[in-house]
Copies of this chain bind each other. A is one copy, B any other.
Amino acid sequence: MKPKTIPEETIGRLFLYLRALLCLAREGKETVSSQKLAEACHVKPTIIRKDFSYFGEFGTRGVGYDVNQLIQEIRHILNLDNLMKAALIGVGNIGMALLNYTGFEEEGFKITVAFDNNRDKIGKKINNVPIEDVAHLESMLQTQGIQLGIIAVPESAASEIAQRLAQGGVKAILSFAPCQLITSDNIQIACVDLATEMARLVYYL
């Protein structure tokens, strides 16, 4: 282990490794070699070992890596130890899909509340998550100490919601709207742009 700077690319790959390891753990695998893990992640074995070497010696020579231990190590490196609270805004098609998805908790966060402006939806529960009136957005974010916001509303409303999330004190926003949101420096914003993802895929065919 050395106190050197960690390559940005390495951090990015750790997420890949974690997902593959979680898969292996579900299948009951207890150990894995850098070779096998590399195949699952579509990278080279040497780069996996190099990546891990920045943080310590996690493996056993001649054997490989302990799957569960490695998961814990990566979780720790990526600050996924403690569960963060997330709020979902917009219970439409994408919103529903997110609420029904189980597996977020494995990766460090949990949707604890959802918001919508449709009277028919407000008050109901999906997967144990209550749907609240979006009118109460800012106040509820603050009282519940929510740090993450997921924007799944129509594009036209996305910008307004982003600003209200900022006022409610969230630290990071994940948006499904294909447009620019506020660019405040103290809020991290990520966009999931499905069209771009597809275009990228098409290019590499």
- List residues of chain A with CB under 8 Å of any chain B CB: 11-12, 15-16, 18-20, 23, 40, 42, 78-80, 84, 86, 92-94, 96-98, 100-101, 103-104, 106-109, 147-148, 150, 171-174, 178-180, 183, 188, 190, 192-205
**B201 and A148: CB pair below 8 A?**
yes
Q: Name the one of B97, B190, B197, B201 contacting A200, with C-beta atoms under 8 angstroms.
A: B190
With A15-B199, A178-B19, A178-B103 known to touch, is A98 a contact of B194 (CB < 8 Å)? yes
Q: Name the one of B86, B96, B150, B192 contacting A192, with C-beta atoms under 8 angstroms.
A: B192
**A172 and B202: CB pair below 8 A?**
yes
**A199 and B78: CB pair below 8 A?**
yes
Q: Name the one of B103, B107, B200 contacting A15, with C-beta atoms under 8 angstroms.
A: B200
Q: How far is the CA of A98 from the CA of B197 in the complex (A)?
A: 13
Residues of B near A193 (CB, < 8 A) are 19
**B109 and A198: CB pair below 8 A?**
yes
**B196 and A84: CB pair below 8 A?**
no
Q: How far is the CA of A158 from the CA of B148 in the complex (A)?
A: 29
With A195-B107, A203-B78 known to touch, is A97 a contact of B86 (CB < 8 Å)? no
**B97 and A93: CB pair below 8 A?**
yes
**A205 and B188: CB pair below 8 A?**
yes
With A94-B94, A178-B19 known to touch, is A101 a contact of B203 (CB < 8 Å)? no
**A197 and B190: CB pair below 8 A?**
yes
**B97 and A199: CB pair below 8 A?**
no
CB distance from A77 to the nearest CB of B (A): 9
CB distance from A152 to the nearest CB of B (A): 9
CB distance from A179 to the nearest CB of B (A): 6
